[in-house]
Amino acid sequence: MSEILSQDEICALLSAVAGDGDELLSSETERAIKEEQNSFLHNFGRPLERNQMSEYTKPRRNKRLIDQNIDLLMDVGLDIKVEIGRSKLSFKDVIGMARGTIITLDKYSGQPADILVNNKIVARGEVIVVDNEYGVRVTELIDENQRLINAESGR
């Protein structure tokens, strides 16, 4: 079984995969990137106009190279969790737990469970039972914008 990597290790691998293509860039492309970097540094701290914003958010890596190298990550283990709800308890309540104690959660029956990959919510689903084991049927994928909002809120 593959070793499970932390989020930082996965980000480092993704950066390495995306960054390995620099030697394949044409000198013209390298020159254009350096000019943009110099322009960015010169304008650092100045507000951007709306039409300039996309200029700094465009991907700059060779997509074909990234697609080829993404295969390096296919066998990396990821920590997957399904969360049916959360609750906050005081220390007193936790140490006072006994068999039969009921903990109420912040979700209602029938609400979808959150599916987390490396502690980041990526989908929601319906909890099911398959051959006496719990499972989850994915019912909703979280789009990139929502994942960013969740990341900023610590969720």
pLDDT in tens, 15-53: 665 554 444 455 666 676 667 666 666 666 565 555 555
Residue 20 has a CB neighbour count (10 Å cut-off) of 16
* Whole-number Å distance between alpha carbons of 38 and 41: 5
| Residue 37 to residue 80: CA distance in whole angstroms | 38
Last residue of a domain, one of 73, 93, 117: 73
pLDDT band, residue 2 (cuts 50/70/90): low
pTM of the model: 0.51
Tell me, yes or no, whether 68 and 85 share the same domain: no
Last residue within a domain, chosen from 73, 93, 113:
73
Say if 1 falls within a structural domain. no
Final residue before a domain boundary, out of 39, 73, 107: 73
Please check whether residues 93 and 52 belong to one and the same domain.
no
Confirm whether 2 is domain-assigned: no
Range of the domain at 67: 7-73
pLDDT in tens, 86-135: 999 999 999 999 999 999 999 988 899 999 998 889 999 999 999 999 99
Q: How many CB atoms are located within 10 Å of the residue 27 CB?
A: 7
Whether residues 85 and 140 share a domain: the answer is: yes
Tokens of residue 117, six digits: 């990959």
**Count of the separate structural domains present in the chain:** 2
- Looking at the fold, whether 90 and 109 belong to one and the same domain comes out as yes
